[in-house]
């Protein structure tokens, strides 16, 4: 009888351990799934630029904001949201802004290759790229930008440096900004954007460059 009673206790303990192990496994799997989901979600999280104050909160001309990177003022803005489809690459020009920036002293050396002024105007262009194809390509969202038909910049003048040019893998999404320092600019009338060619991994041209003119204030 005693042996029978001990056997029942042993079976109960083993069953309890099995259940606990199963529950632990379920919890671990759920945590892993949640972690993977969080990683996927975080791919779309905007990461502030390390050398430019974030202009997200600036909505109208005259709005200003300060942080440890400097003081930023919005002078003009145009929501564009123009989308182009290039053989599976969805390219969107989101907005164009004219801003005035007084960088913090700690960033002066960073800006010296672009300007020797302690404060300056710049044109910022927000873009988004989505590769919906199964192929990897190379593409530059902006090769040349012409501002007011008189100021000409190339992709090499961009100081945001957010790695938007180059390879874009199958299924990959890129979003960010390009910024171009200009002399004091009271008004911004037009911004003409010319992208690079879309080429495959063998450098074969797949699609012609995109050209789009943004009229500010219209």
pLDDT in 10s for each residue of the chain, 218 residues: 444 444 444 434 444 444 444 444 444 444 444 443 433 333 455 678 999 999 999 999 999 999 999 999 999 999 999 999 999 999 999 999 999 999 999 999 999 999 999 999 999 999 999 999 999 999 999 999 999 999 999 999 999 999 999 999 999 999 999 999 999 888 899 999 999 999 999 999 999 999 999 998 65
Sign of CA dihedral 86, 89, 95, 97: negative
- 3-state SS class at 5: helix
What is the predicted pLDDT for the residue at 112?
Answer: 95
In this prediction, residue 44 carries a pLDDT of: 55
Q: What is the pLDDT of residue 212?
A: 97
Query: In this predicted structure, what is the pLDDT of residue 107?
Result: 97
Give the dihedral of Cα atoms 12, 18, 23, 26; nearest 10 deg: -160
pLDDT, position 184: 82
pLDDT score of 153: 97
What architecture is domain 64-215? Sandwich (2.60)
Nearest to 211 by CA among 180, 185, 183, 190: 190
pLDDT computed for residue 47 by the predictor: 77
DSSP code at position 61: T
- Give the C-alpha separation, 183 to 86, whole Å: 34
Query: Smallest Cα–Cα separation from 164: which of 186, 187, 196?
Result: 196
pLDDT of residue 20: 46
Residue 134 to residue 136: CA distance in whole angstroms: 7
> Which pLDDT does position 109 carry in this prediction?
95
3-state secondary structure 15-31: HHHHHHHHHHHHHHHHH
Parse the chain into domains and list their residue ranges. Answer: 1-45, 64-215
């Amino acid at each position: 009888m005693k042996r029978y009673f001990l056997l029942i206790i042993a079976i109960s303990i083993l069953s309890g351990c099995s259940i606990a192990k199963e529950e632990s496994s379920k919890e671990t799997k759920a945590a892993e799934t949640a972690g993977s989901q969080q990683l996927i979600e975080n791919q779309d999280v905007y990461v502030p630029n390390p050398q430019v104050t974030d202009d997200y909160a600036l909505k109208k001309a005259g709005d200003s904001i300060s942080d440890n990177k400097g003081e930023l003022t919005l002078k003009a803005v145009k929501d564009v949201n123009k989308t182009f489809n290039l053989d599976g690459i969805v390219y969107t020009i989101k907005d164009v802004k004219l801003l005035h920036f007084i960088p913090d002293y700690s960033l002066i050396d960073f800006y010296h290759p672009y300007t020797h002024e302690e404060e300056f105007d710049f044109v910022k262009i927000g873009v988004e790229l989505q590769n919906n194809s199964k192929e990897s390509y190379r593409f530059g969202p902006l090769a040349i930008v012409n501002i007011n038909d008189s100021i000409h910049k190339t992709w090499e003048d961009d100081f945001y440096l957010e790695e938007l040019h180059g390879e874009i893998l199958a299924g990959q999404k890129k979003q960010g900004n390009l910024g171009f320092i200009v002399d004091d600019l009271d008004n911004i009338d037009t911004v003409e954007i010319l992208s690079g060619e879309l080429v495959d991994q063998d450098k074969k041209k797949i699609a012609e460059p995109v050209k789009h003119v943004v009229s500010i204030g219209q």
